[in-house]
Every structure is written in structure tokens, then in C-alpha cells.
């Protein structure tokens, strides 16, 4: 199944994302809970899935700073996301790794907008960190929800590589029973998706697919990563989970109605050509 993440078009309304995904021919939707009220309304999400014939394959726990009426901490957000998934009949939840250091993240606009990451050298171990180490399997057993813990990117600061997350290496990810493998995040480390998948294959239940060219979340056909080889590897292996196209809006020509639809179709065709 090839699905589209609503986060790929976070600048659009949630209904329009469903509409575009259906018109482009995707098989399903991953809902990223964010500032859009409709991303966390179970009755409305069920209606959208029925209206557009697109099953919701996963719900992604929020990672934006402010989600109105939701907990501000990572553990509280995960628990609320699991409850939402239960309400809409979805069996998979995606969650990020816990933060390892405090950081200031922002944008500056000299010449062109650029994102910056300023680490603060203070260790960070919040309740979510301890929960992932000791309580994750219990929550899965209690709720029947599979929680795919997602590998995260490495950042650069003054030419140095900064890992801002706990458990963020293939060896440490083996601690978790279920994983979401994100290809562009592997790209920031210089890792090869087929190689990492083979190491973690028994735990991978969900895939976020996008490319990397020095920028994250490029369209699958565009970048340095061997995603065609990766998709063929998944197909040969009989991978049964969802493959979710998760790009940045500018990689899908968001803002250009005709161009965005064409970009969505191009990304889908690439996935189907190599996976099926």
C-alpha cells in the first residue's frame, strides 16, 4: 500500500489533502496530528476516509510546538494519539524519539529562508524517555495499537554533527519492538536505507519515504538515496506494511494546484514502479 502523509501538504486544509491524494491515486492516508483542528477530530476523519475511499493507515503523534487542547509533553501527546487511533479504528501510531538535548530551532532570512538548530548542552531525560525504555510494550498490549518508533535526523552546528535524540542509531533502535523507518532521516547520517532495513527488518512495520539531497524530505525520485533499490528490496522481502510518501510541501509544488497534483502522481508512479 502506498499512502500519503497529510504532513506532506501541511499548508493545505486536511480535506484538500484527502481530495488530492484520491485524485492522484494513493491507496491510503497517514494523518499527522498538528495545529489543524480537523487532524484530531475522529468523526470527521472517519467521514473523510469514507467519502474519498482512502483508509487511514496510521496516525502520527504531533511534533509541532503548539497543538491546541493537547498535552505539551511527548508522553502525553503519544497517549492522546493512541486514544485517537482507537477512536477511528487505526492500528498503527507513529512517534518520534525523545529529545536528548535542549535546543533553539528557528529560521533566518538572509538571501533565502534557512532553518537553524542551536543546541544547548544540557542533558534531557523526561518521562517520555523512561516510558520508551520500559513502558512501550505494555501500552501496545493494553490498547492493541502498534507504535512505530521513528528514527530521527542528525543536525549540523558549526560543521559538527549533533544528534539531538536518544536511541538514534540502528543498534539502539533494536531496543524497540516496532519501528517506523524514515529514509530521509537516514540520509542525514549518510546511511543506506536498504542496509539499515536489512538490519532492522523484523521490527520495521511502517516506512516514511522521501529522498535527501542535502535537504530533507524531497520527492522520492529526487535525491541521493537509492530509493528504487530500497523499494525493490521491500517488494522482494514481502514487506506487508504501508509505504508513506512524506515530503516537504515545496518538494510537491504545493501552492500550484496543477503542479502539486502532477508532483503527487510522479511520486506515486515512482513508488509503484519499483515496489510492485
Per the CB < 8 A criterion, the answer to whether 12 and 255 are in contact is no
pLDDT reported for residue 162: 84
Per-residue confidence (pLDDT) for residue 65, from 0 to 100: 66
pLDDT of 159 reads 72
Give pLDDT, residue 188.
Answer: 96
pTM of the predicted model over 0.85:
yes
Give SS3 for 146: strand
Backbone φ/ψ region at 217: left (φ over 0), alpha (ψ -120 to 50), beta: left
Chain mean position to CA 69: 22
Report the DSSP pairing between strands 101-108 and 114-123: antiparallel
| Average of per-residue pLDDT across 216-230 | 98
Predicted confidence band of residue 103 (pLDDT cuts 50, 70, 90): low
- Which domains occur in the chain, in start order? 2-275 (3.20.20.150)
Per-residue pLDDT reduced to its tens digit, 16-70? 999 999 999 999 999 999 999 999 999 999 999 999 999 999 999 998 767 889 9
The pLDDT value given to residue 87: 97
d(CA 85, CA 80): 9
Task: Assign 105 a pLDDT band (cuts: 50, 70, 90).
Answer: low
What is the rounded (10 degree) CA torsion for 167, 168, 171, 172? Answer: 10
Residue given cell 529560521 in the structure block: 107
> Do the strands 204-209 and 242-245 form a parallel or antiparallel pair, or are they unpaired?
parallel
Question: Is residue 206 helix, strand or coil?
Answer: strand
Torsion (CA) 188, 248, 86, 73 in degrees, nearest 10: 60
What are the pLDDT digits (tens) for 198-214? 999 999 999 999 999 99
pLDDT band at 256 (very low <50, low <70, confident <90, very high): confident
User: Is 80 exceeded by the pLDDT of residue 106?
Assistant: no
pLDDT given for residue 124 in this prediction? 63
| Residue 43, H or E segment | helix 42-52
User: Residue 9: which pLDDT band, with cuts at 50, 70 and 90?
Assistant: very high
How confident is the model at residue 177, as a pLDDT?
96
Q: Give me the pLDDT at residue 120, please.
A: 53
Extended beta strands in 83-221, E state: 92-96, 101-108, 114-123, 146-150, 155-157, 160-162, 179-182, 204-209
Digit-coded pLDDT (tens) for 110-149:
444 455 555 555 556 789 999 999 999 999 999 999 999 9
Using 50, 70 and 90 to split pLDDT, how confident is the model at 276? confident
How much is the CA Rg of the chain, to the nearest whole Å? 18
pLDDT given at position 64:
73
Cβ atoms < 10 Å from Cβ of 117: 14
The string over 177-196, giving b where at least 16 C-beta atoms fall within 10 Å of a residue's C-beta and e elsewhere, is: ebbbbbbbbbbbbebbbbeb
Task: Provide the pLDDT for residue 170.
Answer: 94
Over the stretch 149-197, which tens digit does the pLDDT of each residue have? 999 999 877 777 888 899 999 999 999 999 999 999 999 999 999 999 9
Contacts (Cβ under 8 Å, ≥6 apart) of 246:
5, 7, 8, 30, 182, 184, 208, 209, 210, 217
- Which pLDDT score is estimated for 119? 53
Amino acid at each position: 500500500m502506498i499512502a500519503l502523509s497529510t504532513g506532506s501538504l501541511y499548508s493545505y486544509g486536511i480535506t484538500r489533502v484527502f481530495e488530492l491524494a484520491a485524485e492522484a491515486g494513493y491507496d491510503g492516508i497517514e494523518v499527522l496530528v498538528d495545529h489543524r483542528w480537523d487532524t484530531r477530530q475522529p468523526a470527521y476523519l472517519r467521514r473523510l476516509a469514507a467519502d474519498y475511499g482512502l483508509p487511514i493507515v496510521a496516525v502520527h503523534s504531533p511534533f509541532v510546538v503548539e497543538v491546541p487542547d493537547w498535552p505539551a509533553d511527548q508522553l502525553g501527546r503519544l497517549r492522546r494519539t493512541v486514544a485517537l487511533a482507537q477512536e477511528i479504528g487505526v492500528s498503527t501510531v507513529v512517534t518520534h524519539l525523545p529529545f536528548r538535548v535542549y535546543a533553539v530551532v528557528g529560521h533566518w532570512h538572509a538571501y533565502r529562508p534557512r532553518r537553524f538548530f542551536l543546541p544547548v548542552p544540557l542533558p534531557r531525560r523526561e518521562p517520555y524517555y523512561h516510558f520508551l525504555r520500559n513502558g512501550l510494550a505494555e501500552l501496545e498490549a493494553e490498547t492493541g495499537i502498534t507504535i512505530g518508533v521513528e528514527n530521527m535526523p542528525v543536525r549540523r552546528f558549526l560543521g559538527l554533527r549533533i544528534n539531538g535524540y536518544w536511541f538514534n542509531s540502528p543498534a539502539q533502535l533494536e531496543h524497540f519492538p516496532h519501528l517506523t523507518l524514515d529514509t530521509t532521516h537516514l540520509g542525514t547520517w549518510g546511511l543506506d536505507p536498504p542496509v539499515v532495513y536489512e538490519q532492522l527488518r523484523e521490527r520495521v512495520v511502517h516506512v516514511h519515504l522521501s529522498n535527501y539531497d542535502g535537504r530533507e524530505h524531497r520527492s522520492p525520485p529526487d535525491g541521493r538515496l537509492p530509493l528504487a533499490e530500497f523499494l525493490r528490496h521491500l517488494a522482494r522481502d514481502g514487506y506487508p506494511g504501508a509505504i508513506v510518501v512524506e515530503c516537504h510541501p515545496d518538494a510537491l509544488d504545493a501552492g500550484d494546484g496543477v503542479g502539486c497534483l502532477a508532483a503527487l502522481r510522479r511520486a506515486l508512479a515512482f513508488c509503484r514502479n519499483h515496489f510492485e
